[in-house]
């Protein structure tokens, strides 16, 4: 068999390096199993794969030769729990193959580099050649084939890695960044209050990154808010689902409550009471759906309803924790994440949110809780809250689907 024929038979696999999971103690295997399940779900529709775990790495091995590895890599880049990803060539576990087969494969990684080094990892300690020998010999072969390169062991442009494993050896160049975080589902379930703005999709992404399985709730106030405003929010949910997985989406009819509020409560407390009522409804849906926390896109001091005093009044209406991962971020930092996760362009589409309907001219920035409670108690919102919960519409936003056009 010629060298070229042999190279054509070689297989490319993807190595997924686990992040923080690697540091877990006794629970490590539970975290890893959830991650593998998430990866399998994510790769459905992209072919069949064999997978195995070893030393905080998941080896994803395509069964069919026609698997589109670019697509697979793109999917895996969105899976939380993976910090680094790399494509690797599987070669026979003997020195001749290790020294010859990867040379063509490495062209793409090495042609634009100036310096490189070779590292070797021998999981199979029985393999006759020791690491320094593997590195020196493959390094020599690489220098022969790519004479423009020189070796730099301290700060190379590219590190070529040889891994000697149980059945095969794998050779790869540098890895790319994965999504980081913890596997979705390892930190329980949370209900994201999703508006059409920039902040709440980012908040959802940040909590999902820490392993929270998201559901989303959106309050709409037709005819003050349009169908397009709701579609915009569904589109945002689709966009974050690329990272967060399928999202159960609850859409709450909020018009009657807002009108009653406007007619019966002091204008300057309108927003704060509205937010307390949103929290109340969201918590009732959390109970039904077994979600243990609320998540919002609030950031300290960003607007009147997000001052310390306003947040104190909002939280007083909450029986479960409210997580606000954007609380300490500046708008520009939130925008940076929104751009990274590709929600920004949708978020800035100019459709109104129910929060902007009937906004008071002079909202209280330092509301007193007892005043707020008294004002809220002056009207019986309970029947309306119950009706809003009953009439909440439910749908599922499927991971990575792009169905909404606005
Ligand atoms: P965002 O950019 O996320 O819209 P914002 O800065 O516009 O946030 P607010 O409108 O005060 O801030 O809303 C604060 C938070 O309340 C939002 O981040 C979101 O979590 C929640 N929220 C606001 N409006 C709605 C809505 N219509 N449906 C669901 N949640 C909402
Ligand atoms: Mg908003």
Out of 177, 198, 221, a domain closes at: 177
* Confidence at residue 182, expressed as pLDDT on a 0 to 100 scale: 97
**Per-residue pLDDT tens listing for the chain (406 residues):** 444 444 445 689 999 999 898 888 888 999 999 999 999 999 998 999 999 998 889 999 999 888 999 999 999 999 999 999 999 999 999 999 999 999 999 999 999 999 999 999 998 999 999 999 999 999 999 999 999 999 999 999 999 999 998 889 999 998 999 999 999 999 999 999 999 999 999 999 999 999 999 999 999 999 999 999 999 999 999 999 999 999 999 999 999 999 999 999 999 999 999 999 999 999 999 999 999 999 999 999 888 888 999 999 999 999 999 999 999 999 999 999 999 999 999 999 988 877 777 777 788 888 999 999 999 999 999 999 999 999 999 999 999 788 888 8
DSSP code of 300?
T
Say yes or no: 171 and 28 in one domain: yes
User: Candidates 302, 355, 388, 392: which one to mutate for ligand 1, based on the most atoms within 8 Å of Cβ?
Assistant: 355
Contacts of 158 (CB under 8 A, 6+ apart): 109, 110, 113, 115, 116, 173, 174
Say yes or no: 259 and 116 in one domain: no
CA of 393 to the centre of ligand 2 (A): 20
Query: Cβ(325) to ligand 1 under 6 A?
Result: no
User: Candidates 198, 206, 231, 297: which one to mutate for ligand 1, based on the most atoms within 8 Å of Cβ?
Assistant: 297
Ligand 1 atom at minimal distance to the Cα of residue 217:
29
User: Candidates 191, 199, 346: which one to mutate for ligand 1, based on the most atoms within 8 Å of Cβ?
Assistant: 199
Out of 154, 177, 200, a domain closes at: 177
| Residue 250 domain boundaries | 189-405
Say yes or no: 244 and 380 in one domain: yes
Distance CA 47, CA 17 (A): 21
Say yes or no: 130 and 274 in one domain: no
Say yes or no: 166 and 195 in one domain: no
Distance CA 120, CA 91 (A): 14
Say yes or no: 158 and 9 in one domain: yes
Do the domain assignments include residue 182? no
Do the domain assignments include residue 395? yes
Q: Which CA distances in Å does 234 have to 52, 216, 218?
A: 36, 10, 9
Say yes or no: 117 and 265 in one domain: no
Nearest to 225 by CA among 387, 345, 343, 359: 359
Distance CA 241, CA 11 (A): 31
Residue 171, classified by CB atoms within 10 Å of its CB into exposed (0-12), middle (13-18) or buried (19+), is buried
Ligand 1 atom at minimal distance to the Cα of residue 306:
11
CATH (domain of 16): 3.30.2130.30
Whether residue 114 contacts residue 150, with contact meaning beta carbons closer than 8 Å, is answered with yes
The count of structural domains within the chain is: 2
Do the domain assignments include residue 306? yes
Do the domain assignments include residue 183? no
Query: Cβ(131) to ligand 1 under 6 A?
Result: no
Query: Cβ(354) to ligand 1 under 6 A?
Result: yes
């Amino acid at each position: 068999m010629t060298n070229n024929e042999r190279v054509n038979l070689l297989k490319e696999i993807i190595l997924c390096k686990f992040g923080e999971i690697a540091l877990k103690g006794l629970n490590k295997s539970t975290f890893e199993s959830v991650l593998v399940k998430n990866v399998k779900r994510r790769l459905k529709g992209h072919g069949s794969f064999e997978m195995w775990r070893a030393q905080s790495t998941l080896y994803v091995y395509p069964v069919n030769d026609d698997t589109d590895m670019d697509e697979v890599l793109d999917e895996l880049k969105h899976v939380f729990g993976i910090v680094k990803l790399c494509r690797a060539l599987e070669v026979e576990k003997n020195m001749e193959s290790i020294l010859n087969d990867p040379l063509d494969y490495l062209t793409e990684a090495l042609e634009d580099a100036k310096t490189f080094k070779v590292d070797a990892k021998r999981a199979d300690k029985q393999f006759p050649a020791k690491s320094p020998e593997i590195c020196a010999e493959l390094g020599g072969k690489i220098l022969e084939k790519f004479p423009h390169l020189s070796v730099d062991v301290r700060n190379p442009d590219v590190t070529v890695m040889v891994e000697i494993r149980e059945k095969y050896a794998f050779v790869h160049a540098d890895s790319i960044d994965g999504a980081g975080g913890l596997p979705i589902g390892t930190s329980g379930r949370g209900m994201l209050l999703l508006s059409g703005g920039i902040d709440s999709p980012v908040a959802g992404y940040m909590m999902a990154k820490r392993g929270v399985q998201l559901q989303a709730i959106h309050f709409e106030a037709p005819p003050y808010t349009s169908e397009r405003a709701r579609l915009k929010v569904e589109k945002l949910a689709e966009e974050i689902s690329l990272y967060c997985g399928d999202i159960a989406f609850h859409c709450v009819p909020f018009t009657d409550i807002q009108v009653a509020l406007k007619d019966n409560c002091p204008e300057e407390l309108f927003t704060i009471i509205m937010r307390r009522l949103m929290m109340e409804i969201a918590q009732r849906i959390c109970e039904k759906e077994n979600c243990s926390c609320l998540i919002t896109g609030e950031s300290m001091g960003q607007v009147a309803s997000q001052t310390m005093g306003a947040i104190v009044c909002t939280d007083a209406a909450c029986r479960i924790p409210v997580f606000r991962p954007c609380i300490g971020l500046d708008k520009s930092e939130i925008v940076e994440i929104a751009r990274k996760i590709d929600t920004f362009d949708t978020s800035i589409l100019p459709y109104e949110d129910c929060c902007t309907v009937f906004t008071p001219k002079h909202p209280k920035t330092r509301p007193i809780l007892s005043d707020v409670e008294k004002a809220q108690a002056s009207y019986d919102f309970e029947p309306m809250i119950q009706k809003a919960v009953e009439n909440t519409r439910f749908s599922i936003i499927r991971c990575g689907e792009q169905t909404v056009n606005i």
